């Protein structure tokens, strides 16, 4: 029987395979490695997006006979019929002898694969490299466990915290390198959220584009939060969007999760940003700081309802990056976002 060290090495390879899959689309990035009884890799696979073969099935398709093999999978094999059949059943029917996985599937419909495998006589080993897999799948796992998307809040500001000049002008606070990074981050999100005030004031297209202005492969779904209608001549009407029709953030986020949104990128103005922060709904902050002083009343974040310094929301910096003359600060709440 293979040793735990072999399982860990195979799991680490499976995690590297999983990274080949798309981060968007609602499904997790999953990798799978098939080991022979001697511990050699005989096949591998990963999930390429919604509607395609899951990692286990992808790997199984590459062997003529899987009887007696060990499947090493980054996530518990699913146990439900979606666009594809349950992976637990595929593994059982293939005759796999053992399944090793890192993290339990938290999905209400998809969980239970390990139990189904055990009931069919397949040995299961769980928790191998669990911490590494939890970190790799953090955004998807967090969203799935609580039923609302992972929320990333972005803003750009001057060194003194202003998002616009007194006359409302804000283009461009940051330089080209920072603005291009924003487009890349948009392409890694399922949805991009703004308030109706931003749509009315700025008429954004909310697209993800490359250096030459070309559309990137993935375009996030624009979501407009608020009660006011989107203007008839707005650019968003040319590409499609979701109008929330409400300011109820809990309702909006639950609805987005039901639409398959797992990663939400927020680019609204200070009103939406402040509402999300005050409601404890932000999982990650991306703050672009430009070496400018603007002054005036237009701050990047508005009133959070915090009466004193003792009530301040504590954050933890996780990264600081230079982008041309600007810097990007990534931060997380010291206390995790609201469940």
What's the total number of domains in the chain?
2
> Do 293 and 220 contact (CB within 8 A), yes or no?
no
Q: What is the pTM of this model?
A: 0.91
> Do residues 286 and 154 touch, judged by C-beta distance below 8 A?
yes
Judgement on whether residues 119 and 204 belong to the same structural domain of the protein: no
Domain assignment of residue 217, yes or no? yes
115 shares a domain with 64 = yes
Q: What are phi and psi of 101, to 5 degrees?
A: -140, 165
86 and 216, same domain (yes or no): no
What pLDDT, on a 0 to 100 scale, did the predictor assign at position 297?
Answer: 87
If DSSP codes are grouped into helix, strand and coil, which group holds residue 115? helix
Residue 128 lies in a domain: yes
- What's the chain's length in residues? 339
> What is the domain-level CATH number for residue 288?
3.40.430.10
Pair type for strands 123-126 and 263-266: unpaired
Q: In the structure encoding, which two tokens stand for residue 251, read together?
A: 């309702």
**What is d(CA 312, CA 148) in angstroms, rounded to the nearest whole number?**
25
d(CA 69, CA 91): 10
CA distance 208 to 206: 7
Tens digits of per-residue pLDDT, 124-179?
999 999 999 999 999 999 999 999 999 999 999 999 998 887 777 777 889 999 99
Average pLDDT per 10 consecutive residues for the chain, totaling 339 residues: 82 97 93 95 93 92 95 91 78 95 87 89 95 97 96 95 80 90 95 93 90 90 94 90 93 96 93 94 96 89 87 93 96 81
Cβ neighbours for 58, distance < 8 A, ≥ 6 positions apart? 32, 45, 46, 47, 48, 52
Residue-level pLDDT at 307 = 87
Q: Give residue-wise pLDDT tens across range 245-283.
A: 999 999 999 999 999 999 999 997 899 999 999 999 999
**What is the pLDDT, as a whole number, of residue 135?**
97
> Facing residues of 290 across strands?
158
196, 51: one domain: no
Residues forming beta bridges with residue 224, ordered by sequence position: 194, 243
Residue 338: the pLDDT is 64
Q: Are 100 and 249 within one domain? A: no
Q: Are 321 and 174 in contact (CB under 8 A)?
A: no
Name which of 152, 225, 148, 221 is nearest 194 in CA terms: 225
Shared domain check, 151 and 131: no
Same domain, 185 and 273: yes
User: Which pLDDT does position 84 carry in this prediction?
Assistant: 66
Q: Determine the Cα–Cα distance for residues 91 and 174; give it in Å rounded to an integer.
A: 51
- What single-letter DSSP state applies at residue 264? E
pLDDT given for residue 168 in this prediction: 73
Q: Which H or E run includes 318?
A: strand 315-323
What are the residues facing 151 on neighbouring strands?
264
Q: Which residue in this structure is represented by tokens 């999983």? A: 18
User: Residue 242's domain spans which residues?
Assistant: 147-333
Pair 269, 309 in one domain = yes
In this prediction, residue 254 carries a pLDDT of 97
Active site residues: 56
Question: Number of helices (H) and strands (E), helices first, in the chain?
Answer: 10, 13
């Amino acid at each position: 029987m293979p040793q735990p060290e072999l399982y860990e090495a195979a799991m680490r390879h499976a995690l590297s395979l999983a990274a080949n899959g798309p981060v968007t689309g609602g499904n997790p990035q999953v990798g799978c490695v098939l080991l022979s009884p001697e511990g050699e890799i005989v096949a591998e696979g990963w999930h390429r997006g919604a509607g395609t073969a899951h990692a286990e099935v992808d790997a199984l398709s590459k062997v003529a006979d899987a009887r007696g093999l060990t499947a090493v999978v980054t996530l518990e094999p699913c146990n439900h019929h979606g666009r594809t059949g349950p992976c637990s059943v595929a593994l059982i029917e293939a005759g796999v002898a053992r399944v090793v996985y890192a993290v339990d599937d938290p999905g209400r419909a998809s969980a239970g694969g390990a139990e189904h495998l055990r009931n069919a006589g397949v040995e299961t080993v769980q928790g191998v490299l669990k911490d590494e897999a939890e970190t790799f799948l953090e955004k998807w796992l967090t969203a799935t466990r609580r039923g609302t998307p992972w929320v990333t809040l972005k803003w750009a500001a001057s060194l003194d915290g202003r998002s616009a000049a007194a006359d409302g002008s804000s283009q461009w606070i940051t330089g080209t390198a920072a603005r291009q990074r924003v487009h890349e981050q948009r392409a890694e999100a399922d949805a991009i959220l703004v308030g109706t005030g931003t749509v009315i004031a700025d008429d954004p297209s909310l697209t993800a584009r490359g250096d030459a202005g070309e559309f990137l492969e993935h375009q996030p779904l624009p979501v407009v939060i608020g009660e006011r209608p989107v203007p008839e001549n707005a650019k968003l009407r040319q590409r499609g969007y979701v109008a929330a029709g409400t300011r109820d953030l809990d309702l909006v986020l639950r609805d987005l999760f039901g639409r398959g949104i797992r990663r939400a990128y927020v680019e609204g103005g200070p009103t939406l940003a402040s509402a999300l922060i005050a409601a404890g709904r932000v999982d990650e902050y991306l703050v672009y700081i430009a070496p400018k002083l603007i002054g005036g009343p237009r701050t990047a974040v508005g009133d959070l309802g915090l009466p004193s310094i003792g009530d301040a929301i504590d954050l933890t910096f996780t990264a600081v990056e230079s982008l041309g003359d600007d810097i990007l600060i990534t931060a997380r709440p010291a206390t995790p976002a609201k469940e």
